Each structure stands twice: as C-alpha cells, then as structure tokens.
C-alpha cells in the first residue's frame, strides 16, 4: 500500500497562482468524473476527513477502503464564501445569495427546484418501499440523490453567472486552509491515471 504522506510530498507542486491549484479529496471509490460542488482541500484536510469517515466491519475493526485523490483544478472565476459546516444545497444557495454571487430570483428558483426534486425522489422512495419494505439505505440514497440534483442546479446557475469555483476558508478539517468547490467535472485533472485513487491505511499511526 502506498504511504499517504509520501504520495502527498511527491504529488504536491505549485502551479501559477490564480490559474489552477493542486488539491485533495477523499472518496470510497475510484472517480472518473467529480460531481458539481464536490469539495477539495489540503492534504491535511483530506486526512482529517478520512479519519472521520473510516468504515468499519461489523465487529468494529477498521477497513482501509477510503481513497485519496490528488488533483489539479482549474479555478476560472472564483466566488468567495465563508465555510458552511453543513453542506446542504439550500444553505449553499442562501450563502451565495447573501454574498451577492447569485440574485434573489435565482435563489428563489433554487427553492422551487428543491421542492420538485425532493418530491420526485421521495415518490420513487415510496414506490421502492412499497415493493421492498423499509430499508434505511434507500432513505440514504434518496437524500443523496436530492442533494446531487440540487448541486447540479446550483452549479448551472453559477456557471450562467460566469462563476466556476467556490472558494472558502476551511474552519473545520484544516482550520485556516483554503478549500474549493467546483461547478463542472471538466475543471478537474487527476495527478495519477484517470479516476484512480490511493488507498489510505488508517491503521498507520500519524
């Protein structure tokens, strides 16, 4: 297994400021295309997230299934926000509107879209529950799909306003560091072969 810190040192270089940044993300799988409003931050922030999200077997033993992705993102035009501890799309939309990056009518349209999206996915969940019975993983998937579709809608609005990236000062995973959210997968280039992450060994003491 590749050592997480060694890989960071080998992959971290500094592109010209303002054009692109080398950043990091933790997932549970390989990624070919990152979704709109995916978060990226420092190596330390991704390490912190990895420790929080560590998966465990039924007996409580740790699994090393999390993967670290080092990528370069093209920033384009940047909108700055304060860190939002809860990444609920509605809160992101509200923060963007308060900061003047989107208009009030656009924020209102996000609210309308959220209602439509939620009703759509909840109707699908109801049908699935009637067929299969109640399963908590289906509820988790439903909430994930609602957030994903809303993020796509918000990202589309931002790009319409010629905003490509959200930038914020991280106050949680690596306080004081800079984190980003992209609006389109084309902004991201993997520093390893496409979609491939590095397994993180969380049993290693650090």
Size of the chain in residues: 206
What whole-number distance in Å separates Cα of residue 99 and Cα of residue 81? Answer: 7
Helices 136-160 and 89-98, packing angle to 10 deg:
20
Return mean pLDDT, the chain: 82
Q: What is the pLDDT of residue 46?
A: 87
- Range with top average pLDDT, 55-59, 66-70, 96-100: 96-100
Rg (CA), the chain: 18
Higher pLDDT, 16 or 158: 158
CA angle at residue 16 from 10 to 18, to 5 degrees? 120
Q: Could you give the 3-state DSSP secondary structure of residue 88?
A: coil
Determine the longest span between alpha carbons in the chain, in angstroms. 55
Residues facing residue 21 across a β-bridge: 73
Q: What is the mean pLDDT of residues 43-47?
A: 88
Q: What is the pLDDT of residue 7?
A: 45
Q: What is the pLDDT of residue 194?
A: 46
Q: What is the mean pLDDT of residues 181-206?
A: 67
Structure tokens at 130: 């009637």
User: Residue 193 — very low, low, confident or very high, per pLDDT cuts 50/70/90?
Assistant: low
pTM of the model: 0.79
Q: Residue 153 phi/psi, 5° resolution?
A: -70, -45
């Amino acid at each position: 297994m590749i050592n997480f810190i060694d890989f960071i040192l080998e992959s971290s270089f500094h592109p010209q400021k303002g054009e692109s940044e080398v950043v990091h993300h933790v997932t549970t799988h390989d990624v070919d295309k990152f979704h709109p409003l995916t978060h990226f931050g420092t190596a330390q922030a991704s390490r912190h997230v990895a420790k929080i999200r560590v998966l465990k077997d039924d007996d409580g033993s740790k699994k090393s299934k999390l993967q670290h992705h080092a990528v370069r993102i093209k920033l384009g035009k940047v909108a700055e926000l304060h860190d939002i501890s809860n990444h609920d799309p509605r809160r992101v939309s509200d923060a963007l509107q308060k900061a003047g990056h989107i208009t009030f009518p656009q924020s209102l349209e996000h609210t309308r879209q959220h209602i439509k999206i939620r009703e759509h996915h909840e109707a699908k969940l109801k049908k699935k529950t009637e067929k299969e019975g109640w399963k908590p993983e289906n509820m988790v998937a439903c909430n994930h799909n609602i957030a994903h579709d809303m993020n796509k809608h918000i990202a589309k609005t931002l790009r319409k306003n010629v905003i490509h990236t959200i930038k914020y000062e991280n106050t949680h995973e690596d306080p004081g560091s800079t984190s980003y959210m992209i609006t389109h997968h084309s902004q991201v280039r993997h520093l390893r072969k496409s979609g491939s992450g590095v397994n993180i060994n969380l049993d290693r003491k650090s």
